[in-house]
Amino acid sequence: MRNGSACWGSLKAISELGMNDTPLEIRKKLREMFLKKTGEERLKMGCSMHDFSKRLVADSLLNANPLLTLKELPREIFLRFYGNEFDAEHRQKIVAYLMNTT
């Protein structure tokens, strides 16, 4: 599991998740390229992708609701990304925290 290969799992597992719209040879090449990167490089890439996805979601939310305030935006981003991952009680606690800290 050198260079974090465990994080990438098998190509078969990726296909089983429904992410199989990329030809197998391309998936193999991408996997090789990513595994050649250091852990730090992969972490930076992941953080960059997460930041970019948050910007896309924020833009989408603001386009759908132009009256959304900057105070409400973190709540809506949280709900879009993680709203279904928590039960109602925990979700409400997190939303309350976000609304009181921004």
pTM of model > 0.75: no
Alpha-carbon span 88 to 45, nearest angstrom: 33
For residue 3, what pLDDT is reported? 45
Per-position pLDDT tens, the chain of length 102: 344 444 445 555 555 666 678 899 999 999 999 999 999 999 999 999 999 999 999 999 999 999 999 999 999 999 999 999 999 999 999 999 999 986
| Spatial CB neighbours of 38, under 8 Å, sequence gap ≥ 6 | 3
Residue 58 is predicted with a pLDDT of 97
Residues 99, 48: Cα–Cα separation, whole Å: 25
